[in-house]
């Protein structure tokens, strides 16, 4: 079952990721800072390209704007356990990297405005609508 599910999840997820990420380029939302894409893979034995579902982006408004964005999400869940079939988002500076000093986090690029998102298998239109309404609520 897992072997037959992986190609579906990888390609479906990849399509969702591509659609969602194409919606959020810097030129569409200039207040969004840097982007970090986790990985791009080739699904073995299926001849399909897939892009990783996890990426990070930085809101120029720092922690306050990042937290407001998280709180505005309706479809995307807030969770520091990234890697699910559902879309999830977290604030690394206050969750996964909380125990690391601010200086070391800054050296690592984990800034206060950074958000990490895992794109799930939801319909890309629903995901884009949720991201759009959250960005609007935080003034972007």
Contact 120, 16 (CB under 8 A): yes
Contact 75, 126 (CB under 8 A): yes
Count how many Cα atoms sit within 13 Å of the Cα of residue 107 in the half-sphere of its side chain: 5
pLDDT digits (tens, 9 = 90+) for 90-136: 999 999 899 999 999 989 889 999 999 888 888 888 988 898 899 89
CA distance 30 to 103: 26
CATH number of 2-137: 3.90.1150.10
Q: Which range has the top average pLDDT, 7-21, 58-72, 111-125? A: 58-72
Q: Which range has the top average pLDDT, 2-11, 32-41, 107-116? A: 107-116
CA distance 34 to 11: 26
Strands (DSSP E) found in 16-83: 32-37, 40-43, 48-51, 54-59, 77-78
Residue given tokens 């939801």 in the structure block: 122
């Amino acid at each position: 079952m897992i072997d037959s599910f992986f190609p579906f999840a990888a390609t479906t997820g990849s399509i969702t990721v591509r659609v969602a990420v194409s919606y959020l380029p810097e030129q569409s939302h200039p207040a969004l800072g840097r982007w970090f894409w986790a990985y791009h893979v080739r699904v073995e034995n299926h001849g399909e390209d897939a892009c990783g579902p996890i990426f990070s982006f930085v809101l120029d408004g720092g922690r306050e704007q990042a937290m407001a964005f998280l709180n505005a999400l309706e479809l995307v869940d807030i969770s520091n356990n990234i890697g699910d079939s559902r879309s999830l988002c977290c604030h690394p500076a206050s969750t996964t990297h909380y125990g690391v000093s601010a200086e070391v986090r800054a050296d690592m690029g984990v800034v206060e405005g950074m958000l990490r998102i895992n794109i799930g298998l939801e319909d890309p239109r629903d995901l884009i609508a949720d991201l759009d309404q959250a960005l609007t609520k935080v003034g972007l």
